[in-house]
Amino acid sequence: MQRVTLKDKTFVPYITSDKISASVKQLAQKINTDLVNDMPLFLVVLNGSFMFAADLLKEVTIPCEISFIKLASYHGTSSTGTVTEMIGLTEEIKGRTVVVVEDIVDTGVTLEKLVALLTKKEVKQIKVASFLLKPEAYKKDIAVDYVGMEIPNDFVVGYGLDYDGLGRNMKEIFVLESK
Ligand code: 5GP
């Protein structure tokens, strides 16, 4: 693995694709065991989690459905500030087990908003699968049930994650070079 430069930043190799696939397989096995009787709906949060979701769901062998959403944030006219909206969900999710599929959970602000939106729709239970988690940054109470890898509070790219739109296609994960 070579270092890569994306726009004005240089990134160094961090997690190899072999390590990524080993942890994705382990995670899928846990899901296969835990949710075998739940007929879960996997809700893949675009864009970042497309690569993780594809790898994960190839290893998920239990009956399930898969759907894709995007989160859009805008400043509402009320004093509450930013409003988050879920776009693309067409399935009826009331009473279902929903597995949120995320690329990375950092502070957890995004996850918290998504879970609030799903809770309003009266789902049976929400499980969260995130390939990466930054425990030092994560301060929310929502359980991240399935985590591929925990990483320090550094900025990473690749395996679906971007820097200013670039780097999502890289099959390994790179971290910002420390100066
Ligand atoms: P949150 O802080 O709400 O948990 O994370 C918000 C979003 O920031 C994530 O979904 C992801 O898109 C982005 N993010 C957080 N940490 C990183 C990182 O290390 N690299 C990249 N590329 N995006 C990140």
Domain ranges of the chain: 17-73+82-151
Active site residue 106: yes
Cα of 107 vs centre of ligand 1, distance in Å, is 8
Note the pLDDT of residue 142: 97
- pLDDT tens sequence across 82-110: 878 999 999 999 999 999 999 999 999 99
Q: Which residues pair with 127 in a beta bridge?
A: 99
Q: Which two tokens stand for residue 161?
A: 């994650």
Note the pLDDT of residue 76: 61
Q: Per residue in 97-118, is it b (16+ CB within 10 Å) or e — as a string?
A: bbbbbbbbbbebebbbbbbeeb
Active-site choice (55, 103, 106, 145): 106
- Residue percentage of the chain with pLDDT more than 70: 97
Distances (CA, A) of 165 to 11, 21, 35, 161: 15, 24, 34, 9
CATH number of the domain at 17-73+82-151, out of 3.40.50.2000, 3.40.50.2020, 3.30.420.40, 2.60.40.10? 3.40.50.2020
Note the pLDDT of residue 81: 66
Does the pLDDT value for residue 1 go beyond 80?
A: no
- pLDDT tens sequence across 104-142: 999 999 999 999 999 999 999 999 999 999 999 999 999
Q: Which atom of ligand 1 is nearest to the CA of 162?
A: 22
Residues with CB under 6 A from ligand 1: 48, 104-111, 155-157, 161-163
pTM > 0.75: yes or no:
yes
Note the pLDDT of residue 168: 97
Ligand 1 probe mutation, 161, 169, 170, most atoms within 8 A of CB: 161
Note the pLDDT of residue 78: 54
List phi, psi (to 5°) of 160. Answer: 100, -25
